[in-house]
Each structure stands twice: as structure tokens, then as C-alpha cells.
Amino acid sequence: MKDISEQRYYLVREDVLTEAMQKTLEVKKMLQNDRISIMDAVNKTGLSRSAFYKYRDAVFPFHSIVKERILTVFLQLEDRSGTLATLLQAVAENGCNILTIHQTIPIQGRANVTLSLDVTAMDGDLDVFLQQLKKLDFVESADVVSSGLS
């Protein structure tokens, strides 16, 4: 598996997605619209829970990504003085508007940070931006939690 800083994102046609990926999208739609539990949704679609959890943060419908341009990123940072300020500076330098910030209390030298960003005015490519965040020396991991969802 590639280092997390080398991951890239692609737009693909529905017919080339695996059946499990297609069913994951169906389950996500049910969860968003029908106020249904994950267990009930996967049972209705015939998808295993493990497959749903494997793909839920990896596949997104195109229309949901382009609809609003809101990106939520979960990061794990080393607990060092100035890391949050440096992270936020990198976000601002890329033209992102910070909507929300949530940081946990550091435990065992690490803090979790969730950022919700309006990337409408972002200067560059989203994939390049994510790679820049992942390459900061104090960032241990960075994952997209959601993208473009209302």
C-alpha cells in the first residue's frame, strides 16, 4: 500500500466500480435520506458491514463532491508547540476558508484535529493540497472524512 502522502483521487464511471463499492454508495444514500441504521441499510442491499466500512470513506458520488466544495479532514498531529498554527497557516495559504476546528486533548504525544473547510476559493488542486498537509513533519496521518456533503 502506498504511503498516505502519495494517495491520489480519481473520478471513475459507475460501471467500473465493484459491486461492493456500488452497494456502499447505495447504503450511504440510504443513511443520508432514510434515517436508517447501518445494519438495516447493509441488510437491505446485501452488503456486508465489513465491506461497507472498508469503502465508506473511499467512494463518493460525484454530484455530492461538486455540490458544495466543503471538505472535512481528520488529522493526527504530534503534540508540539506551534503545530496547529502551522497547519492553519498552510490551509490559509491554499485559499481555504476554515469553517470549524475540533482538537482533542493530546494523549501520548498526539492530538486529533478535524477541520471543515470551504475549498471553493482554493488556489490549487485538491489532491496536491492534501499531499502538502500530509508532508508536514508533524502530521502523522491525514484523511478525508467527507467531501462536498451538505
Q: What is the pLDDT of residue 60?
A: 80
pLDDT tens sequence for the chain (150 residues): 455 446 677 778 888 999 999 999 999 989 988 889 999 999 999 999 999 999 988 888 765 555 567 889 999 999 999 999 999 999 999 999 999 999 999 999 999 999 999 888 887 788 888 899 999 999 999 988 876 634
Q: What is the pLDDT of residue 150?
A: 40
DSSP string covering the chain, please? ---GGG-------GGGS-HHHHHHHHHHHHHHHS---HHHHHHHHT--HHHHHHHTTT---HHHHHHH-EEEEEEEEE--TTHHHHHHHHHHHTTPEEEEEEEPPPBTTEEEEEEEEE-TT-SS-HHHHHHHHHHSTTEEEEEEEEES--
User: How far does CA 88 lie from the centroid of its chain?
Assistant: 17
Q: Give the C-alpha separation, 57 to 134, whole Å.
A: 17
Q: Give the C-alpha separation, 71 to 95, whole Å.
A: 13
Computed over its alpha carbons, how large is the radius of gyration of the chain? 17
Task: Indicate the pTM of the whole model.
Answer: 0.55
